Amino acid sequence: MSHSEFILETRALTKAFGGLVANSSVSIGFREHQAHAIIGPNGAGKSTFVNLLTGHLPPSAGEVLFKGASIGGLPAHKVTRLGIGRSYQKTNIFPSFTCFENCRLAAQSRLATSMRFLRPASSYKAVSEQAEAALASAGLAGRSGRVAGTMSYGEQRQLEIAMVLATAPEVLVLDEPLAGMGREESEHMVTLLRDLARRYTLILIEHDMDAVFAIADVLSVMVNGTLLESGPVERVRASKAVQDAYLGDGAEAY
Amino acid sequence: MITHIPKRLAILLLVLLVVLALFPLWGKLVFAAKFTFLMQKLTGIMILAILAMSLDLLVGVAGLVSLGHAAFFGLGGYMLALMSPQYDAANLWLVLPAGLAGVAAAALVVGFLSIRTSGIYFIMVTLAFGQMGFYFFNDSKLAGGSDGAYIYVKPTVEAFGTTLVNLDDKLSFFYVTLGVLVGVYALLRVLLASPFGRVISAIGVNEYRVQGLGFNPMAYKLVAFTIAGTIAGLAGFLAATQYGFVNPAMLGWHQSGHVLVMVILGGMGTLFGPVLGAFVLELAHFAFESLTEHWLLPMGVMVIAIVLLLPKGLAGLLLKWTDRKEDGP
């Protein structure tokens, strides 16, 4: 298998929690600059897959390859430093910090080390600029000074994305960025994600089918911890097996 | 963790500092009979305030509730006692760095073994290490066992053959301690504004996310634990110098709990709060004790009242007052 084909790839990735096999021999390749969505009903193992991909969980068996090098079993803080940024399904920010400080800290994580004790963090210019740029990219330019916990839910979800962007990733792994959002907030977020899909390799876990079809180039379907189907969106959408298992008769299913 | 101190609050704190710094002048007039005692008392409180600030770095900033912090305080004192010649003065330029290095090494080891746990388990592990320290000095013959040990001659502070400060002089020692108090506060403020400090503060808010961003929380917590332990050791070193005496109780959980109350009463994560907490708690203790032999009762009522009425401690109250005024038109 050539290394150049996929930027990120899993091979027979398996995770068992005791007797429960959450991911069973999942092999998916993610191509550079593609938007790749992973869908599946609740309990299909999508979140486990994301946690395996980003080092939040060690795999029981199988491999995760980033640019051809095995990264399975690396802790989360090392995986993100390689350039794989992730957002979380449940809003996971620093609510008592300002919006800017949330992103500044994210950008600061790209310093060779933060074991620096004397110079004020605010005087690291490149870090601050990176944070401002990430806020602007996520549509939060005007929210710099707001305490994150006091913003609307939708804005907190945007901040979640801004924090990932501030870490200057190559691959964005977004775990249900639309979860819990209202219609208007969702539309706003879909626009943002389409924009990001042009600039990054995007891996999107999502329930919202309209959003998936609007954003993704490639679609993988997971059911019961296994990969059911993977391929270009239109082909997977038309697949009989997928329709039976998940999509229903063209209608949205959750 | 607070990063911004409102201007009015800064002025208030500065005034309190000046009042304290001038106590040797006005205290003599107001409390003629008790002046010497009060000088000693205030110096002791300042030392506890340094200890409380160091604990705040763990409890209020990094979210690590340690119930064994006094072990490093006591160890700092014992380092001086063990390194002081029996009938001669030790050289401060040697015993202070050596003592602090010893405490830092101990904090590094204890931290390494305890930061892997969190929450109630961290409290239990630090409590256990603290008690180990207590019994180590209590049961060994190393430094007088349970009787403690005396430091008969205080360390000399010399440069080029001339004495810079005489630590035996109560007034000089008062100002040395005040200087260390202000210095440690400034140092911790610088530290908290640095990249390291921002990571530590973030760990106190959401450690899981800190790791997701690419920081190894264990490394940062270990360094914070070591710094806090070393500053506690510095406070213990000062305490041993002041009293000329160390005993195992300095390391015990009772002392750790006492300092934790100062941090909570004063306001966690504010640095100046624990300093205020130390003064309020100790001065109230002193006042109630001189009024009644049942002083524990009013003390308990006071502590409960503050905790119930001021969930963010004295510092929270002051921040609310001064911030509101600043927000005004």
Tokens of B125: 């592990």
The verdict on A77 and A111 lying in the same domain is no
Report for A223-227, B90-94, B115-119, B179-183: range of highest mean pLDDT: B179-183
pLDDT band with cut points at 50, 70 and 90 for residue A4:
low
Residues 6 or more apart whose CB falls under 8 angstroms from that of A138 comprise: A158, A159, A161, A162, A165, A192
Residues A104 and A118 in one domain: yes
pLDDT value at residue B90: 83
Rounded CA-CA distance B55/B123 in Å is 13
* Total of domains in chain A: 2
Residue A65 CA to residue A73 CA, distance in Å, equals 11
Q: Select B7-21+43-327's CATH number: 2.60.40, 1.10.3470, 1.20.1070, 2.20.25.
A: 1.10.3470
Q: Pick the closest to residue A79 from B222, B210, B206, B213 (CA basis).
A: B213
pLDDT in tens, B97-113: 999 999 999 999 999 99
Q: Is residue A24 in a domain? A: yes
| A153 and A214 within one domain | no
Confidence of residue A59 (pLDDT cuts 50, 70, 90): very high
A37 and A113 share a domain? no
Domain-embedded: residue A193: no
Q: How far is A134 from chain B (nearest CA, A)?
A: 14
Residues A8, A67, single domain; the answer is: yes
Which strand (E) or helix (H) includes residue A8?
strand A8-17
Judge whether B99 and B76 are in contact, CB under 8 Å: yes
Instruction: Pick the more confident residue, A195 or A207.
Output: A195
Residue A214 contacts residue A220 (beta carbons within 8 Å):
no
Tell me how far apart the alpha carbons of residues A128 and A100 are, in angstroms, rounded to a whole number. Answer: 8
Same domain, A226 and A248: yes
Residues A161 and A175 in one domain: no
CA neighbours closer than 13 Å in the CB half-sphere of residue B328:
9
Q: Quick check: is A209 in a domain? A: yes
Residue in A92, A108, A116 nearest the CB of B206: A92
User: For residue A176, what is the domain's CATH number?
Assistant: 3.40.50.300
Please determine, for residue A3, whether its predicted confidence score (pLDDT) is greater than 60. no
Domain that holds residue A133: 90-168
How sure is the predictor about B89, in pLDDT bands with cuts at 50, 70 and 90? confident
Domain presence at residue A188: no
pLDDT of A248 reads: 55
- The answer on pLDDT for A250 being more than 50 is no
Count the Cβ atoms, other than its own, within 10 Å of residue B287: 12
- Determine the residue of chain B that is closest to A86 in CA distance: B212
Q: So what's the pLDDT on residue B2?
A: 67
Kindly state whether residues A253 and A177 are assigned to the same domain.
Answer: yes
Q: Is residue A195 part of a domain?
A: no
Q: For residues B183 and B178, give the distance between their C-alpha atoms in angstroms, rounded to a whole number.
A: 8
Above 90 in pLDDT, residue B6? Answer: no
At A247, is the pLDDT very low, low, confident or very high (cuts 50, 70, 90)?
Answer: low
Pick from A194-198, B85-89, B321-325: least confident: B321-325
Q: How confident is the model at residue B50, as a pLDDT? A: 98
**How high is the pLDDT of residue B304?**
93
Q: Is residue A207 part of a domain?
A: yes
pLDDT tens digits along B171-220: 999 999 999 999 999 999 999 999 999 999 999 999 999 999 999 999 99
Per-residue pLDDT reduced to its tens digit, A109-137: 999 999 999 999 999 999 999 999 999 99
B197 contacts on A by Cβ (under 8 Å): 117, 121
Determine the number of helices (DSSP H) and then strands (DSSP E) in chain A: 9, 11
* Mutation target vs B (from A51, A71, A74, A77; most B CBs, 10 A cutoff): A77
Per-residue pLDDT band for B308 (boundaries 50, 70, 90) equals very high
The pLDDT value given to residue B152:
84
Among chain A residues, the shortest Cα distance to B186 is held by: A118
- Of A47-56, B22-31, B150-159, B277-286, least confident by mean pLDDT is B150-159
Task: Give the HSE-up count for residue B245: Cα atoms under 13 Å, Cβ half-sphere.
Answer: 6
User: Tens digit of pLDDT for each residue in A16-29?
Assistant: 999 999 999 999 99
Residue A253 reports pLDDT greater than 50: no
Residue B66 — φ and ψ, nearest 5°?
A: -100, 135
pLDDT at B328 over 60: no
In a domain, A190, yes or no: no
Closest CA–CA distance from residue B177 to any residue of chain A (Å):
23
Q: Is the pLDDT of residue B28 over 80?
A: yes
Same domain for A212 and A179: yes
pLDDT at B329 over 50: no
Q: What residues contact residue B205 under an 8 Å CB cut-off, 6+ apart?
A: A94, A95, A96, A97, B1, B63
Average pLDDT of chain B, as a whole number: 92
A27 and A135 inside one domain? no
Task: Tell me if A86 and B195 make a contact (CB, 8 A cut-off).
Answer: no
CB-nearest to B205 from A96, A110, A115 is: A96
* Contact between A77 and B197 using a beta-carbon 8 Å cutoff: no
List pLDDT tens digits, range B258-306. Answer: 999 999 999 999 999 999 999 999 999 999 998 988 999 999 999 999 9
Arithmetic mean of pLDDT, A150-171: 94
